[in-house]
Structure 1
Amino acid sequence: MSKLWGGRFTKATNQLVESFTASIEFDQQFAIEDIEGSIAHVTMLSECAIITDEEARQIIDGLQTIKKKIKSGSVNYTIEDEDIHMNIERMLTEEIGPVAGKLHTGRSRNDQVATDIHLYVKKKTKEMINLITAVQQAFVNQADTNIDVIMPGYTHLQRAQPILFSHHILAYFWMLERDKERLKDSIKRVDWSPLGAGALAGTTFPTNRERTAELLGFDTVYPNSLDAVSDRDFVLEFLSIASILMTHLSRISEELVIWSSQEFNFVELDDSFCTGSSIMPQKKNPDVPELLRGKTGRVHGNLFGLLTVLKGLPLAYNKDMQEDKEGLLDTVITLDGSLRLLAPMIDTMQVKKENMYHAVDQDYSNATDIADYLVTKGLPFREAHEIIGKIVLYAIQQKKYLLELSLDEYQSFSTLFAKDVFTFLEPKHVVDARKSLGGTAKSQVQQQLAQAKAVMEG
C-alpha cells in the first residue's frame, strides 16, 4: 500500500520503522475530533471558494458516513496508514473517490493533530469538572449526615485537637473546588485554534482561520503559526492540574485506608468497594482507595514525561511530540475511573460515630483548651502552656486522662483552676469553642456547609 506522502521516496518504509513510528494504536481515540476538525476545515474551504460547494458537500457527506461507522465500531484501522489522520483520509478516498484529496488543502497534519488535541482536552476538561462535582456532593452528603460527629484532629498523625468529622470531610470539598476552578480557568488557554497554521508557516491559500475557529467553538486563533503547531502548554497544564487533583484524591484515600483499619475503626467502606483475601477469610481490604493512591504516581509520571519530551525541542513540530498523546490519554482514563469510583464510595461509607468520640474522650487532645482556660484567668499563654505541659506529663505518669484528674490535682499546679475547668475539657465544649471563621465549631461548620451547598447550586 503506497503512502499518501510517498511521492518523494524510492523505497518502502522498513517494517520496524512503520511499527515504531505509527500512532494509530492510541490516536484513534481522537477520531471524532479529527472528523469535526475536517468538517470545519472543508466548510471554510468552500466558503472561501478554494473548493466548490459540491466538492465540500461530497467530502462532508463522506466524513459523516465515516463518523457513523466509527461510532458503531465497524471501522478497521491499519498501521500502514500510521495515524488517525491518514486512516480517515484513506477511508474517505475509498468512500468518495479522488475528491477526498482536496480535504487536505491549506492544512498539514501538524495543525490537524494540534486541533484534535485541543478539542479533546476541552471536552475532557468539562467532563472532569462534572465528575469532580459528583465527588463534592458525596462529601457534602456525609458532612450533612454527620454534622455532630466529633473525632480527633491530627497533626504529625498524632492526636491534636477534637474536631467535627463534618469539618474534616469538607476540607476535601474545598480542595476539589480549587481543582475545578483550575480546570475552568484552563479552558481559556485550550480555546485557541491552531487549524490553518499549516506545517509551520501558514498557507498560500486564502483561508479564513477565524471561521474554522468559530465553527469549532474556539474563542480565538493562535497569532503565530510556529507556536500553533508546536504548543503543548495546554496539555502540560491539564496534566499539572490532574496531578494536583490526584494528589488530593490520594490524600483522602490514605485517610480512608487508615480510618478503616482495625486500629482506628472510624469508618467502614461498603462491601461493594472492597475485596477479600485468597488465604485469610476474615480480611476486608480497602483496595479501591489503595489503588487510587497508587495510580497517583502514574499521573505524576505522565506530567514529568511530557515536560521531559518538550524541554529541548526546537521549533516547530518534531516527531518527539507524538509522545504527547499516550500520557494524556492514560491520565484521562485514570482520572475518569478514579472520580467515578470515589463518589459512590464516599457516599456509601459508614461513619462509626461512637468510635470516633471514644478516641477524643480517651486522649490528651483537650490540653490546649486548659491553656486557653488559664489565659482567660489572666495568665500569659506561654506560662499557661508550660503549666499544662507539666499537667499532661503528670496525668500520663498517673495513667489518667485530663478529665479524670481531680480539682485538687489541678490546683496543685495553679490556684487559678476552678470547677469550671471540667466544662472546658468536655469534647463538645472544646469543639464548639472554636467559633473563629472557618473553625470547627458546629455553628461555623453549618455556615461552611451552607456555603458549600451554594457553590454546588451555583
Structure 2
Amino acid sequence: MSGTGRLTATLGPRTRRVVYGESGPEDIRRELGATTTVDLAHVVMLTECGLLPREAAAALLRRITALRADGFTSLYELPAPRGLYLMYEGHLVAELGAEVGGKLHTGRSRNDIKATVTALRLRAELTDLLGEVLRLQAVLLSRARAHRSVVMPVYTHFQPAMPVSYGYYLAGIATALDRDADALGHVLDHLDRCPLGAGAVAGTDLPIDPDRTAELLGFPHGPLHATDAVAARDTMLRAVAAAASAALTLSRLATDLQLWSTQEFAFVEFPERLVGGSSAMPQKRNAFLLEHVKAKAALAVGAWTASAAAMKSTPFTNSIEVGTEAVGAGWPALAAVRDSVLLTQPLVGGARPVRARMEQRAREGFVTATVIANRLVARGVPFRTAHHVVGEAVREAVESGATELTRITVPEGAAGPAGPSATELPSLREVVDSHDRGGGPGECDRTVHVLTGRLAAHGRRLTAHRDRAAEAERLLGEAVGALMAPDGVPGGASEGASERALGGASEGAPEGVPDGAPDGSPDAATGVHAASERTEGAP
C-alpha cells in the first residue's frame, strides 16, 4: 500500500537522507530490536483484549520472531521512504497481507511507539551505566581501605593545607560518586510508566489494556496522561544531567591524578599498561588516559545543553525537536560517560601512591600548622594570637631554610597556667588520626563503612530493576510462545517458542555489580576491579 490515503508522494532522496539518515545494519538491528519487543507485547495485549484474532496474532508473532532471529537482514536493502518503522510495517503487510500485517498498528501511533522505544533503551543504558559506576565505587572503596595510612597533604588554592591520607582522598571521591549513583538510580526509578497506549496524543477509544503492555515490557504502570507520555522527554534530560554529574566528579579526580603523576609532584605512579609514550620524545611517559576521562565530561555537559535547547519553547505535544533531536543528543553522552567510568576503573586500581614523597611534601608544606595553633588554643591562648604565633614560626622556618617546625615561641602571658610545651609538636600521623570529627581523616574507616553500606543498597536497587526487566522478558516470552503454539499443546511445549521469540533482540543490559560485590569486603571489591582490568587492553 503506497502513500497514506491523504498523501500520495514522499520526500525526495536528498531531503529523506537529511530527515531519516542512512540506516546501516547496526542501526536497523538496534532500533527494530526495541521496536519489535514493543510489537510482541502489543500483539499479546491486542489478542487478550479480543482486538486481534489468534490466528492473525500467531502469524504476526512468527514473522516478527523470524525477523529478530536473523537480525533483520532481510530488511537491510529495502527502501524506507517514510522511515524505518513504516518500512518494517510495510514488509509485514507485504508478507502477511493487509488483513494480518495491517492490524499490527491497531490502537497505537508511531508517537507512543517511539516514546516507548526511548524508555526501553534509556532503561538499558542507565542500568548499564549505573552498574559500571558501582564497579568503580567498589574499586575506590577497596583502594581507600588499602591506602588509609599513606599520609599526604591536601591542598587549597593549590597550596599545602593540612595532612590527610591518600585513602581519605579516595573516600572523598567515593562520597561524591555515591550521590551520582543515587541520582542515576532515581532516574531509573522514575522510568516507571510505559508510554504505549497513549496513541498519537490523546489515548484511544479502542478497548486496549495499557497496563498489560506495561507489565510485559517491565514497567509498573501504563501512561498517566497521554499527551505527557508522547510530549515529554525530560527523563532524558535527567539521565544526561545525572551522567554529566558523574563525569564531572571523575574529571576532577583525573585532574588531581594527572597533576600528582607529574615529576614535579611525583605522588602517584601508573604501571606501563596505563601510560603512553611519544612518537618524538623518547623519555615521555604520559598518563594520557586521564585526559580522555576529563574530555568526556565535556560531551555530557554539551549534550545536556543541546537537549535542553532543542526542547525549549516547543509546544507541549509530540514534536520532532523533542522526540528526535533532543533525545538524539543524549545517547552519545551516556555512552561517553560510560566509557569514562570504564577508563577510571583500572586507573584508580592501578595508581600507586609514592608514600615517601607524599610525606616529604606534607612536612615541607608545614601542614601541621593548624593543629599546632589549635593545641595552643587548648592551653588557653586566644585563637587569633595562636594563629599569628604559628604563622610567624612558619615564616622564620622558611627564611632560615628549615623544612619543619622545631619550636614555637609564645608571647609571655599569652598562654594559660599550664603553658605550651615546644616539644609537643605533633607528627603527621598523629594529626591525621586526631581529626576524627566533622568527617575528617581520622574518621576514614567510618566513612568507608557507611559508603560500603550505601554501595550495597545501590546494588540492591540495581538488582531490583534488572529482576523486573528479566521477569517481564520471561512473561513476554511465555505469552508469545503460548500464542504461537498450536491449540491443545501443553504449556511446556511452548517453551522453545518463547525462547525463540525473544532470543537475540531483547533489552540486553549487561551485568553490573555481581551478587555480593558491594558487600564491602576487600575480596569482593578487588574482584570487581580485577574483572574490569581483564577487559582493558594496553594503550
* Residue 398 of structure 1: how far off its partner (Å): 1.9
Checking the alignment, whether the CA contact within 8 Å between 2:373 and 2:383 is kept in structure 1 is yes
User: TM-score, with normalisation over the residues of structure 1?
Assistant: 0.92
Match of residue 47 from structure 1: 48
Aligned equivalents of 1:451 and 1:438: distance in 2?
A: 12
- Structure 1 window deviating more from structure 2 (219-228 vs 80-89): it is 80-89
Checking the alignment, whether the CA contact within 8 Å between 2:233 and 2:327 is kept in structure 1 is no
Checking the alignment, whether the CA contact within 8 Å between 1:366 and 1:425 is kept in structure 2 is yes
Match of residue 283 from structure 2: 282
Match of 1:325, as an amino acid? V
Match of residue 88 from structure 1: 88
What are the Cα deviations for residues 34-92 of structure 1, in whole angstroms up to 9, with x where unaligned? 11111111111111111111111111222212222228x77526562554423432443
Q: Secondary structure of the residue that 1:104 maps to in structure 2?
A: coil
Checking the alignment, whether the CA contact within 8 Å between 1:268 and 1:352 is kept in structure 2 is yes
Match of residue 346 from structure 1: 348
Match of residue 366 from structure 1: 368
What are the Cα deviations for residues 367-401 of structure 1, in whole angstroms up to 9, with x where unaligned? 10121121011012122112222222222222223
Match of residue 19 from structure 2: 21
Checking the alignment, whether the CA contact within 8 Å between 1:93 and 1:100 is kept in structure 2 is yes
* Residue 336 of structure 1: how far off its partner (Å): 2.1
* Residue 198 of structure 1: how far off its partner (Å): 1.1
Q: Secondary structure of the residue that 1:221 maps to in structure 2?
A: coil
* Residue 165 of structure 1: how far off its partner (Å): 0.9
After superposition, residues 152-163 of structure 1 pair within 5 angstroms as: 152-163=153-164
User: Which 5+ residue runs of structure 2 have no aligned equivalent?
Assistant: 458-539
Aligned equivalents of 1:27 and 1:262: distance in 2?
A: 46
What are the Cα deviations for residues 103-136 of structure 1, in whole angstroms up to 9, with x where unaligned? 1111111100000011111122121111011111
Residues 436, 202 of structure 1: alpha-carbon distance in 2 compared, 3 angstrom cutoff: same
Match of residue 296 from structure 1: 297
After superposition, residues 10-159 of structure 1 pair within 5 angstroms as: 10-23=8-21, 25=23, 28=28, 29-70=30-71, 76=76, 80-93=80-93, 95-98=95-98, 99-159=100-160
Checking the alignment, whether the CA contact within 8 Å between 1:122 and 1:191 is kept in structure 2 is no
What are the Cα deviations for residues 250-296 of structure 1, in whole angstroms up to 9, with x where unaligned? 11111111111111111112222221111001111111111110111
Checking the alignment, whether the CA contact within 8 Å between 2:16 and 2:81 is kept in structure 1 is no
Checking the alignment, whether the CA contact within 8 Å between 2:307 and 2:327 is kept in structure 1 is no
Aligned equivalents of 1:196 and 1:387: distance in 2?
A: 74
Residues 289, 82 of structure 1: alpha-carbon distance in 2 compared, 3 angstrom cutoff: farther
Aligned equivalents of 2:83 and 2:8: distance in 1?
A: 22
Checking the alignment, whether the CA contact within 8 Å between 1:391 and 1:413 is kept in structure 2 is no
* Residue 348 of structure 1: how far off its partner (Å): 1.6
Aligned equivalents of 1:68 and 1:169: distance in 2?
A: 46
Q: Secondary structure of the residue that 1:297 maps to in structure 2?
A: helix
Match of residue 444 from structure 2: 445
* Residue 421 of structure 1: how far off its partner (Å): 4.1
Aligned equivalents of 1:104 and 1:24: distance in 2?
A: 25
Match of residue 388 from structure 1: 390
Residues 415, 220 of structure 1: alpha-carbon distance in 2 compared, 3 angstrom cutoff: same
1:7 equivalenced with 2:8 (yes/no): no
Aligned equivalents of 2:58 and 2:356: distance in 1?
A: 70
Aligned equivalents of 1:124 and 1:118: distance in 2?
A: 10
- Structure 1 window deviating more from structure 2 (277-286 vs 140-149): it is 140-149
Match of residue 410 from structure 1: 409
Aligned equivalents of 2:311 and 2:380: distance in 1?
A: 62
User: TM-score, with normalisation over the residues of structure 2?
Assistant: 0.79
Q: Secondary structure of the residue that 1:161 maps to in structure 2?
A: strand
Residues 136, 193 of structure 1: alpha-carbon distance in 2 compared, 3 angstrom cutoff: same
Checking the alignment, whether the CA contact within 8 Å between 2:133 and 2:181 is kept in structure 1 is yes
Q: Give RMSD over aligned pairs.
A: 2.3
The number of residue pairs the alignment matches comes to 450
Match of residue 172 from structure 2: 171
Aligned-pair identity (%) = 28
Higher relative contact order (CA 8 A, sep 6+): 2
Match of 2:403, as an amino acid? Y
* Residue 448 of structure 1: how far off its partner (Å): 2.0
User: Which 5+ residue runs of structure 1 have no aligned equivalent?
Assistant: none
Match of 2:351, as an amino acid? M
Checking the alignment, whether the CA contact within 8 Å between 2:261 and 2:269 is kept in structure 1 is yes
